[in-house]
């Protein structure tokens, strides 16, 4: 009897953990097609608190999985705000996971996490050490001082980090120095009076100075183009066009981001650029497939391009972009592949959110291909007719294929706030949340745990493997970052010691002072 209770408790724990993992992958607290933003936030807040209180070690280990940045930041903040609930061993493990995840997050997300800790008045020694270590590992704090000036200043004050030297002077004593040896800091100082200096700054900062100086948009974009990142160039490509004479190499873009860009183009432009866009999507998918390309055998996919795949105003076309990216990734993974869109369309490049969701009919079409794997990418709302997909999958699994010759997985890109999980099609089919199409292979692996054939020990072993792999990878990345940081500092020191550069800085400083006097 005791063993039965323990098994039942393990089953509940496994379900709770998988519930949270699905939410952490898909939910961002933003409005979805079927639920409002406040419902999303309330549901997500409950899950975070429930799992943190009942399964704190697992809650921290989720940082090693492919969860989205929104939930990664929230887990980090929650762990640091409730440090008194952890024992010493848990604190050590959490500290390693937090440091590794912070290193993998975009800097703006990290500064947002630090701001949340400041708002929560969390300023203990452990938290300050984590923040100082992250700042010390940054390859170029001068870039952060220019691009995230207010955020960096707040973190430095909150952690009692003086940031000695000209960086501290730039942040806390502006206007006191006539010049800075770092070219970015000095460019920021000069940009208030010199138009030429704004083209030495990051794009987002230069935009503000260009508006202040009244620089025409077309001329500004043409001159700043060499300093733009790929994503910035992609976002402004429709505006710049032939004006800048620059193009973005789409083949190096992440798969889901590239799919979002493709779907943002008018269908006429997609038709004209068919060869370029298709080649870019296939190259990105092949890169995401890695060594597993061509190893999945016969694969069929049911891909949802119904009206609900539009998402919402804040997550525009996100579910459809995941389906489009999954299409090209499955094509790369499969030996032979067949796609079945809910609209009945045959041209993936021309998909658009349209019509009902006849998932049941498309599942039947896909099973007729006799695949080894069937992958369904859908928000789980089957309405033409309602419930047909679940019934088809039930009959297939229980009567037609009880030996499970065909592996079936449902990947859902939309969090269901009312159900505290992603919506499922059938109890017999494993379902996992997905946010980025490039994570498909890893999520198919974790979906096996939702089927109920593996228990909590196997799930914990899987989390341990992922945690160890994550920490090892981040350790190697930190070594590479430290080497790059040393090289960068050596180059900076050499540049600052060159007489010509000092003369140039003095000349620029005189021009800025003259400009200030003229104003």
Q: What would the pLDDT profile of 25-83 be if each residue is shown by its tens digit? A: 999 988 898 888 899 999 999 999 999 999 999 999 999 998 999 999 999 999 999 99
364 and 475 housed in the same domain = no
* Mean pLDDT of the residues in the chain: 85
| Last-in-domain residue among 452, 479, 496 | 452
> Do residues 376 and 327 make contact, with C-beta atoms less than 8 angstroms apart?
no
369 and 297 housed in the same domain = yes
Q: Which of 61-65, 133-137, 376-380, 442-446 has the lowest mean pLDDT?
A: 442-446
Tokens (6 digits) for 432: 């996992």
Asked whether residue 436 is assigned to any structural domain, the reply reads yes
Residue 423 DSSP code: P
292 and 437 housed in the same domain = yes
Asked whether residue 351 is assigned to any structural domain, the reply reads yes
Alpha helices in 432-498 (DSSP H): 440-447, 456-496
415 and 479 housed in the same domain = no
d(CA 21, CA 71): 10
> Do residues 349 and 262 make contact, with C-beta atoms less than 8 angstroms apart?
yes
d(CA 95, CA 79): 9
Q: How far apart are the first and last CA of the chain?
A: 86
Asked whether residue 430 is assigned to any structural domain, the reply reads yes
Asked whether residue 374 is assigned to any structural domain, the reply reads yes
302 and 438 housed in the same domain = yes
Q: Which of 258-267, 425-434, 488-497 has the lowest mean pLDDT?
A: 488-497
Beta-strand pair 336-341/298-303: parallel
pLDDT in tens, 130-161: 999 999 888 888 889 999 989 999 998 888 88
490 and 409 housed in the same domain = no
Positive or negative torsion for Cα 429, 72, 26, 10 = positive
The predicted model gives 471-498 an average pLDDT of: 62
pLDDT in tens, 171-192: 888 777 778 888 889 899 898 8
Tell me: pLDDT of 420 over 90: no
> Do residues 213 and 515 make contact, with C-beta atoms less than 8 angstroms apart?
no
Q: CATH number, domain at 441? A: 3.40.50.410
Q: Which residue has the higher pLDDT, 475 or 493?
A: 475
502 and 442 housed in the same domain = no
Asked whether residue 186 is assigned to any structural domain, the reply reads no
The strand pairing partners of 298, in sequence order, are 336
d(CA 289, CA 210): 42
352 and 476 housed in the same domain = no
Asked whether residue 99 is assigned to any structural domain, the reply reads no
Beta-strand pair 407-412/298-303: unpaired
Nearest partner of 112 among 62, 86, 150, judged by Cα: 150
Three-class SS string for 69-135?
Answer: HHHHHHHHHHHHHCHHHCCHHHHHHHHHHHHHHHHHCCHHHHHHHHHHHHHCCCCCHHHHHHHHHHH
**Residues 6 or more apart in contact with residue 335 via CB below 8 angstroms:** 294, 295, 296, 297, 298, 299
430: left (phi over 0), alpha (psi -120 to 50) or beta: beta
380 and 440 housed in the same domain = yes
424 and 326 housed in the same domain = yes
391 and 347 housed in the same domain = yes
In the chain, how many domains are there? 2
d(CA 388, CA 390): 5
424 and 501 housed in the same domain = no
Give the pLDDT confidence score for residue 246 in this predicted structure.
52
Asked whether residue 45 is assigned to any structural domain, the reply reads no
Residue ranges making up the domain that contains 432: 278-452
d(CA 304, CA 323): 7
Residue 267 dihedral angles phi and psi, to the nearest 5°: -60, -30
Tell me the pLDDT band of 494, cut-offs 50, 70 and 90: low
Asked whether residue 295 is assigned to any structural domain, the reply reads yes
Q: E-assigned strands of 212-330?
A: 298-303
């Amino acid at each position: 009897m005791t063993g039965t209770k323990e098994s039942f408790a393990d089953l509940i724990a496994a379900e709770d953990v998988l519930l949270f993992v699905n939410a952490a992958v898909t939910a961002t607290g933003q409005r979805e097609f079927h639920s409002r933003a406040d419902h999303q936030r309330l549901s997500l807040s409950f899950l975070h608190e429930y799992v943190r209180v009942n399964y704190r070690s697992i809650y921290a280990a989720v940082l090693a999985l492919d969860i989205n940045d929104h939930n990664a930041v929230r887990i980090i903040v929650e762990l640091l705000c409730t440090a008194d609930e952890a024992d010493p061993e848990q604190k050590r493990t959490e500290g390693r996971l937090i440091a590794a995840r912070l290193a993998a997050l975009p800097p703006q997300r990290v500064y947002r996490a630090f701001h949340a800790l400041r708002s929560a008045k969390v300023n203990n020694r452990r938290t300050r050490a984590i923040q100082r270590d992250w700042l010390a590992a940054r390859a170029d704090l001068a870039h952060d001082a220019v691009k995230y000036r207010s955020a960096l200043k707040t973190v430095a004050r909150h952690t009692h980090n003086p940031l000695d030297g000209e960086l501290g002077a730039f942040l806390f004593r502006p206007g006191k120095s006539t010049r800075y040896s770092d070219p970015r800091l000095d460019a920021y100082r000069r940009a208030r009076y010199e138009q030429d200096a704004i083209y030495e700054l990051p794009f987002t900062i230069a935009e503000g100075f260009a508006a202040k100086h009244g620089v025409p948009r077309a001329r500004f974009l043409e001159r700043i183009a060499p300093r733009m990142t790929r994503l910035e160039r992609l976002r402004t490509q429709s505006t710049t066009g032939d004006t800048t004479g620059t193009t973005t190499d789409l083949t190096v873009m992440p798969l889901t981001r590239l799919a979002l860009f493709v779907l943002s183009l008018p269908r006429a432009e997609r038709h004209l650029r068919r060869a370029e866009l298709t080649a870019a999507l296939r190259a990105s998918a092949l890169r995401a497939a890695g060594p597993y390309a061509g190893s999945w055998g016969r694969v069929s996919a049911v891909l949802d391009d119904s009206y609900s795949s539009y998402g919402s105003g804040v997550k525009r076309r996100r579910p459809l972009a995941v389906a489009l990216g999954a299409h090209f990734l499955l094509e790369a993974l499969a030996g032979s592949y067949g796609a079945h869109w809910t609209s009945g369309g045959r041209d993936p490049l021309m998909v658009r959110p349209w019509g009902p969701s006849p998932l049941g009919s498309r599942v039947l079409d896909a099973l007729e291909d006799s695949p080894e794997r069937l992958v369904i990418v859908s928000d789980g709302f089957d309405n033409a007719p309602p419930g047909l997909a679940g019934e088809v999958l039930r009959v297939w699994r229980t009567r037609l294929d009880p030996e499970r010759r065909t592996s079936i997985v449902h990947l859902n890109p939309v969090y269901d706030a009312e159900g505290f999980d992603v919506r499922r099609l059938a109890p017999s089919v494993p379902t996992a949340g997905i946010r980025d199409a490039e994570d498909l292979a890893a999520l198919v692996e974790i979906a096996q745990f939702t089927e109920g054939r593996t228990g909590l020990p196997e799930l914990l072993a899987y989390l341990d493997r992922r945690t160890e792999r994550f920490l090892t990878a981040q350790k190697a990345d930190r070594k590479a970052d430290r080497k790059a940081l040393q090289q960068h500092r050596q180059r900076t020191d050499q540049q600052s010691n060159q007489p010509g550069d000092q003369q140039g800085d003095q000349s620029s400083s005189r021009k800025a002072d003259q400009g200030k006097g003229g104003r």
